[in-house]
Amino acid sequence: AKVAGKNCHRFYSRAMDQAVERRVRMEQDLRGAWERGELSLAYQPVYSLADGQLRGAEALLRWQHPEHGAIAPSVFIDVAEQSGLIEVIGPQVLRLACEDTMRWQQAHPSADQMFVSVNVSPRQLRSGDLPRQVATTLRDTGLEAARLHLELTETAVIGDEIHASGLLARLRASGVKIWLDDFGTGFSGLSHLRRVPVDGVKIDRSFIADVLRDPDDLALTTAIIAMAHSLGITVVAEGVEKEGQYAILRERGCDLAQGYWLGHPVSASDFSLLLA
Ligand code: C2E
Ligand code: CA
Ligand code: CA
Ligand code: CA
């Protein structure tokens, strides 16, 4: 048994070495990926449930690796976050998203009320530089502050609520909208909304996935919508994959929705076709 344990240990440490090696290599590849043109943004449309109109887009980062092909953001964002590279990539994402949105507005004047949502990682928020970056980007691109929505996860806000609340208050004072992403997955949930100043919440797609089958998920979703509305907060449902989900969310008074049933993330030029 002892020998097996030893082998076992050796096996695990080798597997761990390989995992560490993979991460290190990915980090090296990610450095300079923007300059090499491997990173791009995809835009997923967000629709109003009340009237079915297109209201905005969420910018989602894509990495086309020269050897390994498309790498999932859930994998490489984590590497970027751990290594600190997100502090380089994040501002580039913010700038490109604002530039693309300005281009859509210029080509389609009817799109001048469209918003663009940009994901902001916990590390970007903690760095404290975000308000300055946002101000510079809005000034340089000419995008109206209220058109920019920043999506933060609950984990970015929890732990350092005082610091986060101060930053968010400064951002909101400049006119930018703050959204809480993946809402409902953290344990803090609704009580947070009283302390952290936000404009909207995005109900996590794990709730939406089961909203037609699981009465608990429907009850929770309905409660989130009611609670948010009583606080003057807008609600987005993400991961809407079926017409039935869309219908029930609409019936429950949810404000906005995005998901494969409504539209997949597409390139900036394909997105502008939705505006024509
Ligand atoms: P997220 O912010 O929750 O983004 C929504 C994810 O759900 C996206 O995955 C989107 O493609 C996917 N999705 C949209 N509709 C549906 C649907 O109907 N069904 C299902 N199953 N999935 C749907 P994606 O693009 O792979 O991004 C994964 C995560 O990576 C994002 O989750 C976000 O946390 C992070 N991420 C992406 N881009 C950025 C970025 O520019 N900066 C930062 N910090 N994080 C990013
Ligand atoms: Ca998001
Ligand atoms: Ca989300
Ligand atoms: Ca469930």
240-249's contacts with Cβ under 8 Å and 24+ in sequence apart are: 240/208, 241/209, 242/212, 244/212, 245/208, 245/211, 245/212, 246/49, 248/211, 248/212, 248/218, 249/49, 249/208, 249/211, 249/221
pTM of the model: 0.93
Are 262 and 240 within 8 A, CB to CB? Answer: yes
Pocket test for ligand 1, best of 60, 88, 118 (most atoms within 8 A of CB): 60
Are 171 and 151 within 8 A, CB to CB? Answer: no
Residue 260 structure tokens: 């494969």
Complex prediction ipTM: 0.97
CA–centroid distance for 97 within its chain: 13
Distance 151 CA to ligand 2 centre (A): 6
Distance 156 CA to ligand 4 centre (A): 25
- Check if 180 has its Cβ closer than 6 Å to any atom of ligand 1: no
Q: Which residue has the tokens 């590390």?
A: 123
- Check if 241 has its Cβ closer than 6 Å to any atom of ligand 1: yes
Nearest Cα to Cα of residue 224 among 240, 239, 205, 202:
202
Q: Ligand 1, atom 21: nearest CA belongs to which residue?
A: 239
- Check if 93 has its Cβ closer than 6 Å to any atom of ligand 1: yes
Are 61 and 88 within 8 A, CB to CB? Answer: no
pLDDT tens digits for the chain (276 residues)?
445 555 566 666 777 788 888 889 999 999 999 999 999 999 999 999 999 999 999 999 999 999 999 999 999 999 999 999 999 999 999 999 999 999 999 999 888 899 999 999 999 998 889 999 999 999 999 999 999 999 998 777 777 777 888 899 999 999 999 999 988 876 566 677 777 789 999 999 999 999 999 999 999 999 999 999 999 999 999 999 999 999 999 999 999 999 999 999 999 999 999 998
